[in-house]
Amino acid sequence: MSQKIFVNLPVADLPKAKSFYEAIGAVNNPQFTDDTAACMVLSDSIYVMLLTHPKWATFTQKPIVDAHAASEVMLCLSADDRAAVDNMVAAASAHGGKADVTPLQDLGFMYGRSFEDLDGHIWEIMFMDMGQMPQG
């Protein structure tokens, strides 16, 4: 069995966060969703668990970071091409996210942009054309 990643994120408003992630292409798995958490499937191996603050508190006693004010984590997803990068950032921005919160990366063979979700979590979206990668 290949490894999977489950990214757990605290969210202030679960229904809004769920709608946001659906807008950027995630699909809700109702089997692992209730009033305190939503399992959002980005791919066969990438899952984002959106957890209300009270639910989050059942996993750790550490305080929840205000990701709008402090850096906590930066998550990076690969994309199939440059257009997919731009489309995901545009969808995030159109649904309440903040586009391009880190510098745009365009190295020819590698292209990346970023967005913040509704709770300030930073996602980078990256396309890499290994055929164009410089040798050496």
- Domain holding 116, by residue range, is 72-129
pLDDT digits (tens, 9 = 90+) for 96-131: 999 999 999 999 999 999 999 999 999 999 999 978
The answer to the question of residue 67 being in a domain is no
102 and 81 within one domain:
yes
Question: 46: buried, middle or exposed (CB in 10 Å: 19+, 13-18, 0-12)?
Answer: middle
The pLDDT assigned to 131 comes to 81
The pLDDT assigned to 134 comes to 78
Last residue of some domain: 38, 60, 82?
60
The pLDDT assigned to 42 comes to 97
The answer to the question of residue 65 being in a domain is no
Last residue of some domain: 10, 27, 60?
60
87 and 44 within one domain:
no
pLDDT digits (tens, 9 = 90+) for 32-81: 999 999 999 999 999 999 999 999 999 999 999 999 999 888 999 999 99
